[in-house]
Structure formats: structure tokens, C-alpha cells
Structure 1
Amino acid sequence: MSGQVNQGFRWKVRHSILSIIWLGWLFSFLDRMVISVSLPFIAQDLNLDATMQGAILSAFFAGYALFQIPGGMLADKFGFRKVMAFAIAWWSIFASLTGMIVSYPIMLICRCLFGIGEGCFPGASWKAISTYFPSKERATATAIQSSVNTLGPAVATLVAAGIIAQYGWRTVFVALGLPGLLIAAAIWYYFKDNPADHPSMTKEELAELEVQPGSNTANTGSSGITFKEFIKKPILWQMVLIWFLFDITFWGFVSWLPSYLMKVREFSLLKTGIVGSIPFFVGTVGTLLGGYLSDRIKGQRKWMFIPNALIAGVFLYLTYTVPSADMAIVYQSVSSFFMFMAMAAFWGLVMDTIPSNIMGSASGTVNFGGQAAGFISPFVMGYLIDVSKGSFDTAFVFLIIAIVASAGVTLTVNQERKDNGAALKA
């Protein structure tokens, strides 16, 4: 009888932790992605060309990329709870301030400061997952968290389009600040850096994590390696480069999609909000399926990443070459599905590779590569669009080259970590 009970699903503290982290990530994407839908209206109000619009998008990533590694190191040193709560409160304030700005230089400064707050969050959140989840569940938990990479832009597109149509672009930013402050309060009062200190933890759940008294993290997945030692391993820099190239495509795809649909495919604002969200909802399915499959081919994740990334590139090409606007949405959706299948496989590799004791610092380093791409990609795309006199074709070629290159670099990864404590070879 007891065996049957153990086999069934039971809600645990780690599931509540993941739910709150998921909400934090969702609002991080809402807060950052509404700028993409708002951009044509901001440009009209502030009299901006495409290059200047790209600079607004890139200003966020300047701060976001800059604080990936410091944010992760702070989480390793002071605990993920304080870092996550402070980060969400900080970026929520600057998200609201975005809607009050009337000057282009101040807009750049505000978006950079907004990015600094968000930059402290990712490494801390991955450390929280590695602390509260046993290694056999971490890839799935990370995939669930990563579903906001697609769901966030989808919801942001719908929410922003509806609010902008009714109240204007400024209102959407002001309104998004309060939910973030509530999530920050939930993290501050509910999370504990050591699971053994959490009042709702059971002995059975603690046993799954192998938590030792006085430890700040679970034993599972930890090792004696330091971050200074880990940065000497080629595998870390391979992952940084893969994520940099992949995110060139990802951030170009999500940042300029609304403008592409309105300017090239001549969709209305409301149609852009509805139809433009479809590729991201499809991508959410791809992310969750990718995480599920990634856990079942552990040790072979790169062979899941490579074909999916290449297929995504093929359908990106079809997106901008097909004459039919409706078929462009279909191809965007297919590309999104395979792109985020690949993303789930990649982060399964990351979570399987990095020991828990340095998860904040090392995962922040990997994510720095992606956010450096987020700084570069929107600006370069804006420049290519201006140079091409409004055509998006060259910009799409830029995205395709990047995702194909990410698959090429993935071929150089030799093997994954075989057990929880061993360092990964390169």
C-alpha cells in the first residue's frame, strides 16, 4: 500500500518554489517583451528611426548581460532568496518608470537600469532549482521554468496590444510594476536558502535532496570544484558560445516580430497581437516536450539540439520568402517549435553539467553569452533594416546564420557529465 502511495504524484515544497519562480520569470518576460509591441508607438512619440529603436532594445541587454555573472556570484555568496527578491522589486520599479519617460536619452538609461535588475535573477533562479530539486528532476524543472521564454512573449503580445489599443503604450508599462512587487514579497517570505530551514519540508523530501545540516544547498549534484576552477574548463565556454549564437536568433526573432508583421505583412495592431502570439504558444509546447525528451536521452542532449536548431533555421528562411502572410505565420510557428525544442535540450545540458555549489556563478556566465547576443542582435537587425531601406530579408539571413552556427559549435561538445559529482570533460 505504501509503495502505491510513493509512486503517485504528491505536491511538495519544491513544486511551490518552482511555481513562484515560474511567475517571476513570466513577469520578467512580460516586462521586457511589451517593449517590442510598443516600439512603433514609442518611435512615433519620440521620433525615432529603426536604428534608434534597436538601441532601446539593446540598452536593456547592456544592463542585463552586465549583471548575469555578478548576480550569479551574489546568489552563491548570499543566497538566492535575497537576490531574487531584490532583483524583481528593482526591475518592477523601472518597468513602471518606462511608461513615464518623454526623452530618448532617459529612455536608454531607464531600460539599462531595468536590465540590471533582471540580470541578477537568472543565476539565482537556477541555483534555487538545483537546491530544491534532485538531479533526476532538474532538466524537467528547468524546462517548465523555460516555458516562459515562449509563453512570456505570447502573453506580452496579447496583453500589450490590447492595453495599447485601449489606453496607449505608457499605461502598459505602469501597470506591470505591481505584480512584480507582490512576487518579490512572496519570494522573501516563502523561500529559504537551505531547504532544511523551510517549515513545510518533510523528512522524506529532505531525504530526496540529501541535505546536510549547516549546508546552504542540497548535496545532489554538488562537487568540490570551485567556480575559478570551472572557468578553466572548455565546456563552459562552449556553452557560452552556443547560447550566444542561439540567442542572436532568439532575441532577433522575438524583438522584431511585431514590427515585421505590422510593416512587412501589413497586419493591424490587434491582428499582430493575436496572430503574433501563435508562434510563441507553439514554442511553449516545443519547450515542454523538449524538456521531457531531454530527460530521457540524458547523455545525448547535443544530438537533440543540433537537428532541431537546423530545422528551425530552414523554417526561418521560409518565413520571409513565402508570399502569403498566413503561411509566414505557419512557418514562424514551425520554426518556433523546433527552436525551443533545441533550447530545452541545451538547458538540460547546462543543468546536468554544472555542480550545484557553483550553479549561480556558472549558469550566470552561460546566460551572459545569450544576453550579450540580446544586446547585439536587436541593434544589428535595426541597422540591417535601415540599410535595406525597410526590408527585413538581410536581417532574417543574419538570424539563420547564427542558429546554424550554434548547431556547428554544439558538434564540438564531447560528452556530458556522467554522474552528479564528476567534472565534465570537454
Structure 2
Amino acid sequence: MNEQLQVQPKKRWKVRYSVLLVLWVCWLFSFLDRMVITIALPFIGEDLNLNATAQGLLLSMFFAGYALFQIPGGMLSDKFGFRRVMSIAITWWSIFTSLTGLIFSFPLMLLLRFVFGLGEACLPGASYKGIATYFPSKQRGTATGIQSTVNTLGPALAAIAAAAIIGFFGWRAVFVIMGIPGIFVGIYIWVKFKDNPKDHPKITKEELAELDEDVDEKSPEKKKSDISFKELLKRPILWQMSLVWFFFDITFWGFTSWLPSYLINEKGLSLMDTGIFSALPYLVGTVAIVLGGYLSDRVKTNRKWIFIPNALIGGLALYLMFQASSLTMVIVYQCLAAFFMFLAQGGFWGLVVDTLPAKIMASGSATVNCFGSIAGFVSPFLMGYMIETSGSFNSSFIMMIVALVIAAAIALSISGKPKEEPVNLEIKLDA
């Protein structure tokens, strides 16, 4: 009986779960705010008289700002703490989301999307810093996978919400409405969050002990924590992970940005049908990305093997998707592509968060994510150009498939042997 009573406290809600929940909400609004434009794009193009190339440039301008400030934003989080940076960031981009609906000039909208991207650029590094600060190493892959479900739910909810709001009120209203909640979230983070777990009034001694044990059990972690960002830049694994993420995001942002237009223009779907069918792959991916993070924590060999085969299978599903003649099979294959790509993504970020030292987690993860942001700039614009010049989506689909193959090949080159890195970052691909 006494033993049963002693077990009960372990089931209590922990502070780190609350931190993860708020991080998840921040990512949710970041994706809602950035992705509604993919549903609104055909209407913006018609309203402002934009061709496919100009529409692709409009999508890409967000990523220009997002990529430019990604690493500086991570460095700010490492220096001043993730709480302040995240609070200011979400308030910033929420304001510019609402302003997007009030713009009538294409050049001004390009500028606004760029500045909007600057604000969101601070989020990735700050959020991974938060996970590394509050979660022990053995749970970081799962925590990152849960946080990353927003990569799937965000586009899904954005597709449905944007389609409904646009249908009733027009495309401008969707931006004005979407920007409002984030301001309140930013205020909450400023008031409630703490950069140091020891300063949090509700954290327990048991939680702090878990974090301390995490360092004590892995003595190299103490050496890792002394590595500066400048030293990290000399580590090959940082650039390998960055390149993997660049090529993976060529596919991810191409798929995410142009899927609604593909369904409307190539398959003749209505606005509401497009919203529903655009959401399906991401709802499927929600399960996959958590599973990828969970498996990454459970694998006792190299974490990269969660990424490689699933990225390749995702590429195969994309090929079958654009070859399919019936709408039913297009929907089936787009869901399969999403499942395996997001499974790969969950595994990949488990690798990143477990590999980088907590002290410079924001700067390191921001560097990796910066390459994805560059891909986010390149991919929508390049796809728009390819679609306009070829008159079809075929060549752009081939580009996305090739990018996944390259990402898998680079991941294969990542070595799991820490002895090759003296003192070290431990190139820790093991769970």
C-alpha cells in the first residue's frame, strides 16, 4: 500500500509539460499566420493581378526575412533567454499578420511579408532552447516530436479556417482575424515563463533532480556545455544536419505552399473541398511526426535511420501522387507522402536536439533551421517559375522528389562514431 502511494506523485502534471504546451501554441499560431496565405493566394493573385511567378515570390518573401534573422534570433535567445525573445517575437509577427489584410499594393505586401518573417525567425531557436532547458535528454526527441505536430496541424487548421473565413468575409479578413490571439500569448509568456527552471515557482525538486541527473549520467555533457557557438561552427555534423534540412525543406515547403493551388487548378476542386483535402495530409502527419520523435528516443543505434528510409518512401509516394489520374488516388498518395515525410522529420529533429549542447541550443538549432528557411525562400518561388514556364506541375514534383533523395544521401554520410570528434560534441546519434 505504501509503495502504491509513493508511485502516485510521478503521475502529476510537470512544469515541463506546461512549457511544452505553450511552445506548441506558439508554433501553432506561427503556422496559422504563415500558412493562411497559401489558401488565400489564388484570390490575392486575382485581386492584385499577379501571375504564378509573382505569387511564388510573395510566398518566398516571408522566408527571406525568416532565413536572414534565424541565427541572430537564436543567438539572442542564448544570450537573453528564450522567454523574452519568444514573447517579443510572437507579438511582432501577430501584428504584421493582421496588417497583411490591410495592404493593397504588391510591393508593400512583399515588404510586409519580409518583416513578418523577421519576427517569426526568433521562434525556432527559442523553442528548442526551451525544450533543452526543461526536458532531460532522454525525452527531448519525444518533446520535439510533440511540438512539431504543429508542422502538420498548422497547415491543416490554416487550410480549413482560411477557406471558411475567405468564403464568408473575403481573403483580407482572414489575416486580420488570425493576428489577434498571438498578442495575448506573447503577454502570457512574458509574465509566466522563467528562463531558469530553478526560478519557476511550481517546479518540483523531482523535476530539477531529473535535469541534474541528466548531466551527471553523461559526463561528456559537461564538456559539451562548454563548447561555444564559434566552436560548434567547426563541427562537420552541424553542416551535415543543416544540408539535410535544406533539401528536406525544399520538398516540405514546395508541397505545403503549392498543394492548394495544385488541387484547385489541376484537379478542379472547389474552395471548401480544397480546404478539406489540403488538411488531410497534415492530419495524417500529426500522428507520424510524434511517432518519429518517439522512435528517435527509443532507437539504440543511429537516429538517422528513422529519417533515411522514411524520406525515400515519402519521395516515392510523391511520384505516385502526380502520376495518379483519379482524384481519389491523388488524395491517398498525398496522405502517404505526408505520413512518411513527417515521420522522417520527427526523427530528424530528435537527432538535432539530442546532438546540440543545451547552452547553445538556440544558436545551433537556429543554424540548422536557417537552411530550411533558405529552402523555404527558394522552393515556392522556383516552383512558381517552373509551373509558369512548363504549364504543369510535373517538373516541380520531380524537383521535390530529387531533393528528398539528396537529403537522405547526406543523412547517410553522418557518422555515429564519437571517437572521430575529440572532446566533443559527441556527434550523439544514439538515443
* Interval containing the TM-score (normalised by the shorter chain): over 0.9
Equivalence map 1:150-165=2 (5 Å): 150-165=152-167
Q: Could you tell me which residue of structure 2 aligns to residue 274 of structure 1?
A: 276
Shift in Å, 1:299: 3.8
The number of residue pairs the alignment matches comes to 418
Matched, 1:239 2:241: yes
SS at match of 2:425: coil
- Structure 2 Cα separation of the partners of residues 329 and 8 of structure 1: 43
Q: Is the 8 A contact 1:220 1:356 kept in 2?
A: no
Q: Could you tell me which residue of structure 1 aligns to residue 407 of structure 2?
A: 406
Q: Is the 8 A contact 1:91 1:117 kept in 2?
A: yes
What's the C-alpha RMSD, in Å, of the aligned pairs? 1.9
* 1:86-136 C-alpha deviation (Å, 9 max, x unpaired): 000000000000000000000000000000000011101100110011111
Q: Is the 8 A contact 1:306 1:407 kept in 2?
A: yes
- Greater mean deviation of Cα atoms: 98-107 or 200-209: 200-209
Unaligned runs of 5+ in 1: 213-218
- Structure 2 Cα separation of the partners of residues 35 and 222 of structure 1: 41
- Structure 2 Cα separation of the partners of residues 84 and 417 of structure 1: 33
Shift in Å, 1:7: 8.0
Q: Is the 8 A contact 2:224 2:425 kept in 1?
A: no
* 1:195-243 C-alpha deviation (Å, 9 max, x unpaired): 111111111111111299xxxxxx8895211111111010000000000
- Structure 1 Cα separation of the partners of residues 64 and 205 of structure 2: 44
Of 360, 363, 366, 2:362 maps to 360
CA distance change for structure 1 residues 188 and 334 in 2, over 3 Å: closer, same or farther? same
- Structure 1 Cα separation of the partners of residues 9 and 411 of structure 2: 37
CA distance change for structure 1 residues 222 and 131 in 2, over 3 Å: closer, same or farther? farther
TM-score (norm 1): 0.95
Q: Which structure dedicates a bigger proportion of its chain to helix?
A: 2
Q: Could you tell me which residue of structure 2 aligns to residue 216 of structure 1?
A: none
Calculate percent identity across the aligned residue pairs.
Answer: 59
CA distance change for structure 1 residues 221 and 80 in 2, over 3 Å: closer, same or farther? farther
Matched, 1:195 2:211: no
Q: Is the 8 A contact 1:294 1:301 kept in 2?
A: yes
Unaligned runs of 5+ in 2: 215-220
Shift in Å, 1:6: 5.7
Amino acid at match of 1:173: F
Amino acid at match of 1:353: T
- Structure 2 Cα separation of the partners of residues 293 and 123 of structure 1: 23
- Structure 1 Cα separation of the partners of residues 72 and 319 of structure 2: 37
Q: Could you tell me which residue of structure 2 aligns to residue 75 of structure 1?
A: 77
* 1:61-100 C-alpha deviation (Å, 9 max, x unpaired): 0000111100000000011100000000000000000000
Of 323, 346, 351, 2:325 maps to 323
* 1:351-382 C-alpha deviation (Å, 9 max, x unpaired): 11101001011000000010000000000000
Equivalence map 1:341-356=2 (5 Å): 341-356=343-358
- Greater mean deviation of Cα atoms: 30-39 or 198-207: 198-207
Shift in Å, 1:310: 0.4
TM-score (norm 2): 0.94
CA distance change for structure 1 residues 6 and 137 in 2, over 3 Å: closer, same or farther? farther
Matched, 1:141 2:139: no
Q: Is the 8 A contact 1:153 1:280 kept in 2?
A: yes
Amino acid at match of 1:38: A
Q: Is the 8 A contact 1:243 1:370 kept in 2?
A: yes
Matched, 1:62 2:36: no
Shift in Å, 1:261: 0.2
- Structure 2 Cα separation of the partners of residues 166 and 422 of structure 1: 57
Which aligned runs of 4 or more in structure 1 are off by greater than 4 angstroms?
219-222
* 1:381-401 C-alpha deviation (Å, 9 max, x unpaired): 000000112x10011001001
Q: Is the 8 A contact 1:282 1:336 kept in 2?
A: yes
Q: Is the 8 A contact 1:223 1:422 kept in 2?
A: no
- Structure 1 Cα separation of the partners of residues 176 and 427 of structure 2: 47
Shift in Å, 1:424: 2.7
Shift in Å, 1:301: 1.2
CA distance change for structure 1 residues 417 and 19 in 2, over 3 Å: closer, same or farther? farther
